[in-house]
Amino acid sequence: MNQLIDRYDVGVERGPDWLFVKLFPPKANAPRRGGDLGHALWNVAREHGMSRMVVELDGVGQVDDRLLEGLEVLAGLMLREGGLVRLCGLDGLNLERYESCRVAEHLPHFSCRCEAVGAGSWEFARPAQPR
């Protein structure tokens, strides 16, 4: 079930190791959840018992300061608890806007959900070096 958080309709899908959260324009009559975007999404992760989250932004019309601030808060909360947040789905002007802000320095963006989940997994797939 989708819910409204801040200005977005939020769809939540639970994977085996990751929580996938998709932001898009709100639909009528969606249940509303209080709080700002960052804290509300962090609470969603906690409710699902997940420490890894991919936020899918391909449904966002325009990236603005308020969205970026919310994502920065979310990243800080998740990192503080030993978790991970990755973004995906931005393109064109939205991707340029994201890449030009300070959030991009510590919150990675990937082109799709699969890349976001798979990033860094090669580090664990390598055979151990002999001693």
Domains held by the chain: number: 1
CATH number, domain containing residue 38: 3.30.750.24
Please report whether residue 126 resides in a domain: no
Specify the pLDDT at position 103.
85
Q: Which domain holds residue 60?
A: 3-116
Question: Is 99 within a domain?
Answer: yes
Per the domain annotation, does 92 fall within a domain? yes
The mean of the pLDDT values for the chain is 85
Contacts 24+ apart (CB under 8 A), 12-20: 12/44, 12/48, 14/48, 14/50, 15/117, 17/52, 17/117, 18/50, 18/52, 18/53, 18/54, 18/117, 19/44, 19/45, 19/48, 19/50, 19/52, 19/53, 19/54, 20/53, 20/54, 20/56, 20/113
Q: Is residue 28 in some structural domain?
A: yes
57-79 pLDDT, tens digit each: 999 989 999 899 999 999 999 99
Is 129 among the domain residues?
no
Which segment of 38-47, 82-91, 121-130 scores lowest on mean pLDDT?
A: 121-130
